[in-house]
Structure 1
Amino acid sequence: MRAGAQMHRWAVILLAVAAASCAPARMDSAPADSLDAIESELAADVAVLASNEFEGRRPGTDGEAKTLRYLAQQWQAAGLESGTNDPANPWFAPVALQLITPEHFEAAFFRGRRKLTPPEGSVRLYTSGRRSLLERSPVVFVGRKGQALDQAELAGRIAIMLWDHPRQVEQREALLEKGAAAVLAIVPNGAELAELADLRSKGSYRLAGAEDGAQLDGLVSREGAEALLGAERFAELSAAAGREGFRPVPLDIEARLEATSLSREVRTHNLIARLPGRLPNAGAVLLLAHWDHFGHCAEGQGPDAICNGAVDNASGLAVLGAVAKRLAQGPQLDRDVYFLATTAEEWGLLGARAFAQDPPMPLDTIVAAFNVDTIAVAPRGGRVAIVGHGMTALDREVERLVASLGRELGDHDYANRYVRRQDGWALLQHDVPTLMVSSAFADRDAMEAYIRDRYHRTGDVADAIQFGGAAEDVLLHLALVRHFASLSGYQAAQP
Structure 2
Amino acid sequence: MAAGAPAKRRTLAILLAMLAASCAPAPIGGPPADRLATIEAELEADIAVLASDAFEGRRPGTPGEAKTLRYLAQAWQAAGLESGTNDPANPWFAPVALQLNTPDRSEARFYRGRRELPVPAGSVRLYTSGRRSLLERSPVVFVGRAGEALEQSELAGRIALMLWDHPRRIEQHEALLDKGAAAVLAIVPDAGELRELADRRAKGSYRLVDEEDGARLDGLVSADGARALLGAERFASLSRAAGLPGFRPQPLAVEARLEATSLQAEVRTHNLVARLPGRRPETGAVLLLAHWDHFGYCAEGEEPLAICNGAVDNASGLALLSAVARRLPAAGFDRDVYFLATTAEEWGLLGARAFARDPAIPLDSIVAAFNVDTVAIAPRGGPVAVVGHGLTDLDDDIARVLAASGRAAGDHDYANRYLRRQDGWALLQHDVPTVAVSAAFADHPALERFMRERYHRAADVADGSIVLGGAAEDVLLHLALVEHFASAASYPARAAVPGD
23, 27, 45: which one pairs with 1:30?
Answer: 23
Please give the alpha-carbon distance, in whole angstroms, between the structure 2 residues aligned to 1:341 and 1:384.
23
Equivalent residue of 1:281, what SS? helix
Please give the alpha-carbon distance, in whole angstroms, between the structure 1 residues aligned to 2:450 and 2:223.
24
Residue 213 of structure 1 aligns to which amino acid in structure 2?
G
Q: Is the 8 A contact 1:312 1:374 kept in 2?
A: yes
Q: How does 1:95-114 map to 2 (within 5 A)?
A: 95-114=96-115
Which residue of structure 1 lines up, in the alignment, with residue 31 of structure 2? none
Residue 171 of structure 2 aligns to which amino acid in structure 1?
E
1:344 equivalenced with 2:335 (yes/no): no
Report the alpha carbon displacement of residue 185 of structure 1 after superposing the two structures with TM. 0.1
Q: Is the 8 A contact 1:483 1:490 kept in 2?
A: yes
Report the alpha carbon displacement of residue 147 of structure 1 after superposing the two structures with TM. 1.1
Q: Is the 8 A contact 1:27 1:78 kept in 2?
A: no
Provide, for residues 335-357 of structure 1, a one-character-per-residue CA deviation record: whole Å limited to 9, x for no partner: 00000000000011000001011
1:276 equivalenced with 2:277 (yes/no): yes
Q: How does 1:470-481 map to 2 (within 5 A)?
A: 470-481=471-482
Please give the alpha-carbon distance, in whole angstroms, between the structure 2 residues aligned to 1:494 and 1:214.
38
Which residue of structure 2 lines up, in the alignment, with residue 401 of structure 1? 401
Q: How does 1:350-365 map to 2 (within 5 A)?
A: 350-365=350-365
Q: Is the 8 A contact 2:80 2:330 kept in 1?
A: no
Residue 416 of structure 1 aligns to which amino acid in structure 2?
N
Provide, for residues 350-395 of structure 1, a one-character-per-residue CA deviation record: whole Å limited to 9, x for no partner: 0000101111111000000000000110000111000001110101
Please give the alpha-carbon distance, in whole angstroms, between the structure 2 residues aligned to 1:192 and 1:375.
24
Change in 2 beyond 3 A, CA 1:98/1:59 = same
The percent of aligned pairs where both chains have the same amino acid is: 75
Provide, for residues 426-464 of structure 1, a one-character-per-residue CA deviation record: whole Å limited to 9, x for no partner: 000000000000000000100000000000111111113
Report the alpha carbon displacement of residue 28 of structure 1 after superposing the two structures with TM. 8.7
Q: How does 1:124-203 map to 2 (within 5 A)?
A: 124-203=125-204
Q: Is the 8 A contact 2:308 2:459 kept in 1?
A: yes
Residue 336 of structure 2 aligns to which amino acid in structure 1?
D
Residue 451 of structure 1 aligns to which amino acid in structure 2?
M
Provide, for residues 232-277 of structure 1, a one-character-per-residue CA deviation record: whole Å limited to 9, x for no partner: 1111111111111111111111101011111000000000000000
Report the alpha carbon displacement of residue 332 of structure 1 after superposing the two structures with TM. 2.4
Report the alpha carbon displacement of residue 227 of structure 1 after superposing the two structures with TM. 0.5
Report the alpha carbon displacement of residue 298 of structure 1 after superposing the two structures with TM. 1.5
Please give the alpha-carbon distance, in whole angstroms, between the structure 1 residues aligned to 2:21 and 2:350.
38
1:240 equivalenced with 2:233 (yes/no): no
Q: Is the 8 A contact 2:283 2:494 kept in 1?
A: no
Equivalent residue of 2:121, what SS? coil
Change in 2 beyond 3 A, CA 1:331/1:260 = same
Equivalent residue of 2:212, what SS? coil
Which residue of structure 2 lines up, in the alignment, with residue 449 of structure 1? 449
Q: Tell me the C-alpha RMSD between the 2 structures.
A: 1.2
Residue 280 of structure 2 aligns to which amino acid in structure 1?
L
TM superposition score normalised by structure 2: 0.92
Which residue of structure 1 lines up, in the alignment, with residue 386 of structure 2? 386
Residue 277 of structure 2 aligns to which amino acid in structure 1?
P
Q: Is the 8 A contact 2:83 2:92 kept in 1?
A: yes
Provide, for residues 85-109 of structure 1, a one-character-per-residue CA deviation record: whole Å limited to 9, x for no partner: 0000000000000000001101000
Please give the alpha-carbon distance, in whole angstroms, between the structure 2 residues aligned to 1:105 and 1:259.
4
Please give the alpha-carbon distance, in whole angstroms, between the structure 1 residues aligned to 2:261 and 2:139.
21
Report the alpha carbon displacement of residue 29 of structure 1 after superposing the two structures with TM. 7.5
Unaligned runs of 5+ in 2: 1-18, 27-34
Report the alpha carbon displacement of residue 170 of structure 1 after superposing the two structures with TM. 1.3
Q: Is the 8 A contact 1:289 1:340 kept in 2?
A: yes
The list of structure 1 runs, each at least 4 consecutive aligned residues, that deviate by more than 3 angstroms after superposition, is: 26-33
Please give the alpha-carbon distance, in whole angstroms, between the structure 1 residues aligned to 2:173 and 2:316.
27
Which residue of structure 2 lines up, in the alignment, with residue 16 of structure 1? none
Report the alpha carbon displacement of residue 283 of structure 1 after superposing the two structures with TM. 0.3
Q: Is the 8 A contact 1:392 1:433 kept in 2?
A: yes
Residue 411 of structure 1 aligns to which amino acid in structure 2?
D
Equivalent residue of 1:369, what SS? strand
Which residue of structure 1 lines up, in the alignment, with residue 78 of structure 2? 77
Provide, for residues 164-187 of structure 1, a one-character-per-residue CA deviation record: whole Å limited to 9, x for no partner: 112211111110000000000000
Please give the alpha-carbon distance, in whole angstroms, between the structure 2 residues aligned to 1:190 and 1:470.
34
Which residue of structure 2 lines up, in the alignment, with residue 307 of structure 1? 308
Q: Is the 8 A contact 2:364 2:495 kept in 1?
A: no
Residue 350 of structure 1 aligns to which amino acid in structure 2?
L
Provide, for residues 114-166 of structure 1, a one-character-per-residue CA deviation record: whole Å limited to 9, x for no partner: 11011111000000011111110111111111110000000000000000112
Report the alpha carbon displacement of residue 470 of structure 1 after superposing the two structures with TM. 0.2
Please give the alpha-carbon distance, in whole angstroms, between the structure 2 residues aligned to 1:330 and 1:72.
17
Report the alpha carbon displacement of residue 30 of structure 1 after superposing the two structures with TM. 3.3
Which residue of structure 2 lines up, in the alignment, with residue 367 of structure 1? 367
Report the alpha carbon displacement of residue 32 of structure 1 after superposing the two structures with TM. 7.1
Report the alpha carbon displacement of residue 190 of structure 1 after superposing the two structures with TM. 2.8
1:424 equivalenced with 2:424 (yes/no): yes
Report the alpha carbon displacement of residue 205 of structure 1 after superposing the two structures with TM. 0.2
Q: Is the 8 A contact 1:32 1:38 kept in 2?
A: no
Please give the alpha-carbon distance, in whole angstroms, between the structure 1 residues aligned to 2:435 and 2:224.
41
1:459 equivalenced with 2:459 (yes/no): yes
Residue 70 of structure 1 aligns to which amino acid in structure 2?
Y
Q: Is the 8 A contact 1:142 1:160 kept in 2?
A: yes
Equivalent residue of 1:462, what SS? coil
Q: Is the 8 A contact 2:294 2:308 kept in 1?
A: yes
Which residue of structure 2 lines up, in the alignment, with residue 231 of structure 1? 232
Change in 2 beyond 3 A, CA 1:79/1:27 = farther
Q: Is the 8 A contact 2:22 2:39 kept in 1?
A: no
Report the alpha carbon displacement of residue 494 of structure 1 after superposing the two structures with TM. 3.8
Please give the alpha-carbon distance, in whole angstroms, between the structure 1 residues aligned to 2:456 and 2:277.
36
Please give the alpha-carbon distance, in whole angstroms, between the structure 2 residues aligned to 1:180 and 1:480.
42
1:489 equivalenced with 2:482 (yes/no): no
Q: Is the 8 A contact 1:333 1:482 kept in 2?
A: yes
Report the alpha carbon displacement of residue 330 of structure 1 after superposing the two structures with TM. 4.1
Please give the alpha-carbon distance, in whole angstroms, between the structure 2 residues aligned to 1:76 and 1:147.
43
TM superposition score normalised by structure 1: 0.93
Residue 37 of structure 2 aligns to which amino acid in structure 1?
D
Equivalent residue of 1:35, what SS? helix
Please give the alpha-carbon distance, in whole angstroms, between the structure 2 residues aligned to 1:438 and 1:398.
12
Residue 114 of structure 2 aligns to which amino acid in structure 1?
R
Q: Is the 8 A contact 1:186 1:225 kept in 2?
A: yes
Please give the alpha-carbon distance, in whole angstroms, between the structure 2 residues aligned to 1:294 and 1:39.
25
Report the alpha carbon displacement of residue 192 of structure 1 after superposing the two structures with TM. 2.2
Residue 23 of structure 2 aligns to which amino acid in structure 1?
A
Which residue of structure 2 lines up, in the alignment, with residue 266 of structure 1? 267
Which residue of structure 2 lines up, in the alignment, with residue 289 of structure 1? 290
Report the alpha carbon displacement of residue 191 of structure 1 after superposing the two structures with TM. 2.8
Which residue of structure 1 lines up, in the alignment, with residue 6 of structure 2? none
Larger RCO (CA under 8 A, 6+ residues apart): 2
Aligned residues: 469
Unaligned runs of 5+ in 1: 1-25
